[in-house]
């Protein structure tokens, strides 16, 4: 099967990491997979280094990765022509858009194959009325969480398929952790944005560092992630005991070195970083918002706290790293939870959906014409 996945750009966000993981899995099972970005990373304020790393990973797995290089999202003619050339070359059996921005271009390109859309958040970044435009283009929707499914079902008339996120196998730990280090490292991972609410983490870090200092311990807080708001965050938390690591391509190593994972988001879809943390055997403290609630079970693999509540967040962090028995139990629980979110199961569910849609696609008008050019491999 030829599968074309479309993203906005190659960056370290959860949706983009999932697409990268899936492309590797598809290629590993003999399918011809391609990941197409609408824009170069630098054109939308993302790190070119991350883009290069992700494209290399995809290509090394035997899939294809390329960008249309669209600097202006309103350049419908140029974008449509670029997409049409790419699709004529690759000739996909199914197109899976992981950004709603791709749908107008897909509609104008008229590929004649089934189209799937995944909405990766529990909130909309566009008016709900836009779904009236999406429905004639999209054959099926994918929801990554119960909240996302409920959101979609309230607005769309096409089938909604619930497929859970998954993480790369390189995060899998061989065994659970016994206790946190004497000087624990608390890690957060994710694009620097309003959604992630890192200022609350910075406030909690002050409180947790003081509490652990009273035990003779030195806590270290780190945030791995970049984005256009990184400089703003640096200025806003300059006096906080938090290291801003920027974009990293060794998050699996950072998680192996960490003692606890924190997510303090104001809203979520279903964070892949939580799955990566659980696979790494890390106890998790996360805010009690949609997506997080479906992953973190209090007393089993971590704790949930109210959003925008630094005192409660700090208390939960200190409580876990200060109790060896509780810490060990939560680490074991994290590994058990992670087994449910394998990339193998996630890829199989996507392939089953694509296969289900293909008979419909054969009745569609397929794109005609010889290949314009080879897509870079």
- Residue 63 Cα distances to 21, 75, 146, angstroms: 11, 28, 30
Predicted pLDDT of residue 339: 92
Residue 238 pLDDT > 70: yes
Predicted confidence at residue 372, as pLDDT, reads 27
Give the pLDDT of residue 366: 41
Angle 102-109/76-90 helices, nearest 10 degrees?
A: 70
The pLDDT, as a whole number, for residue 122 is 86
Residue 38 sits at φ, ψ, to 5 deg, of: -70, -35
Average pLDDT over residues 212-226: 96
In our burial notation (b when 16+ CB lie closer than 10 A, e otherwise), range 336-375 reads ebbeebbbeebbebbbebbeebeeebeeeeeeeeeeeeeb
Q: Where in the chain is the domain with CATH 3.40.50.2000?
A: 2-166+342-363, 170-339
Mean pLDDT of all residues in 96-112: 94
Query: What is the per-residue pLDDT for 12?
Result: 82
- Say what the alpha-carbon torsion angle 341, 345, 347, 351 is, to the nearest 10 degrees: -140
CATH assignment of 170-339?
3.40.50.2000
**Better-predicted residue by pLDDT, 223 or 121:** 223
Comparing CA positions, the residue from 85, 91, 102, 22 lying closest to residue 58 is 22
Looking at the structure, give the CATH architecture of the domain made up of residues 2-166+342-363. Answer: 3-Layer(aba) Sandwich (3.40)
Q: Residues 164-203: pLDDT tens digits?
A: 999 989 999 999 999 999 999 999 999 999 999 999 999 9
pLDDT at residue 95 above 90? yes
Q: pLDDT of 1-35, one tens digit each?
A: 999 999 999 988 889 999 999 999 999 999 999 99
Which pLDDT score is estimated for 377? 37
**In whole numbers, what is the pLDDT of the chain averaged over residues?**
92
Q: Which residue has the higher pLDDT, 373 or 238?
A: 238
Helix (H) or strand (E) holding 284: strand 284-287
- What are 119-149's pLDDT values in tens digits? 998 888 899 999 999 999 999 999 999 999 9
* Long-range own/partner contacts, residues 145-149 (CB < 8 A, 24 or more apart): 145/268, 145/269, 145/270, 145/290, 145/291, 145/294, 146/290, 146/294, 147/122, 147/269, 147/290, 147/291, 147/294, 148/119, 148/120, 148/121, 148/122, 148/269, 148/270, 148/290, 148/291
Give pLDDT, residue 358.
Answer: 85
Rounded to an integer, the average pLDDT of 153-165 is 95
pLDDT tier for residue 71 given thresholds of 50, 70 and 90: confident
Q: What is the pLDDT of residue 49?
A: 85
């Amino acid at each position: 099967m030829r599968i074309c996945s479309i993203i906005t750009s190659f960056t370290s966000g959860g949706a983009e990491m999932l697409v990268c993981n899936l492309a590797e899995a598809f290629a590993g099972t003999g399918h011809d997979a391609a990941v197409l970005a609408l824009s170069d990373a630098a054109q939308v304020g993302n790190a070119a280094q991350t883009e290069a790393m992700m494209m290399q990973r995809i290509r090394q797995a035997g899939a294809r990765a390329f960008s249309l290089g669209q600097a202006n999202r309103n350049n419908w003619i140029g974008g449509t022509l670029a997409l049409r050339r790419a699709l004529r070359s690759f000739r996909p059996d199914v197109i899976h858009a992981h950004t709603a921005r791709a749908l107008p271009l897909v509609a104008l390109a008229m590929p004649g194959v089934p189209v799937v859309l995944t909405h990766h958040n529990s909130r909309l970044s566009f008016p709900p009325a836009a779904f009236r435009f999406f429905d004639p283009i999209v054959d099926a929707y994918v929801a990554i969480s119960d909240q996302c499914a409920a959101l979609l079902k309230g607005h769309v008339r096409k089938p909604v398929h619930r497929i859970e996120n998954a993480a790369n196998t390189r995060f899998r730990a061989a065994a659970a952790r016994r206790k946190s280090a004497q000087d624990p490292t608390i890690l957060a991972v994710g694009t620097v944005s309003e959604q992630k609410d890192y200022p609350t983490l910075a406030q909690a870090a002050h409180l947790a560092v003081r509490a652990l200092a009273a035990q003779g311990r030195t806590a270290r807080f780190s945030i791995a992630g970049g984005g256009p708001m990184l400089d703003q965050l640096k200025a806003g938390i300059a006096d906080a005991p938090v290291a801003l690591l920027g974009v990293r391509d060794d998050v699996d190593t950072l998680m192996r070195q960490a003692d606890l994972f924190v997510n303090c988001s104001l809203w979520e879809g279903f964070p892949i970083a939580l799955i990566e943390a659980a696979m790494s055997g890390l106890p998790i403290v996360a805010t009690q918002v949609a997506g997080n609630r479906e992953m973190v079970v209090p007393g089993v693999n971590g704790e949930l706290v109210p959003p925008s509540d630094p005192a409660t967040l700090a208390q939960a962090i200190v409580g876990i790293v200060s109790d060896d028995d509780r810490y060990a139990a939560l680490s074991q629980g994290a590994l058990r939870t992670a087994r449910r979110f394998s990339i193998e199961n996630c890829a199989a569910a996507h392939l089953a959906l694509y296969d289900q849609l293909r008979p419909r696609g054969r009745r569609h008008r397929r794109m005609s014409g010889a290949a314009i050019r080879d897509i870079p491999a």
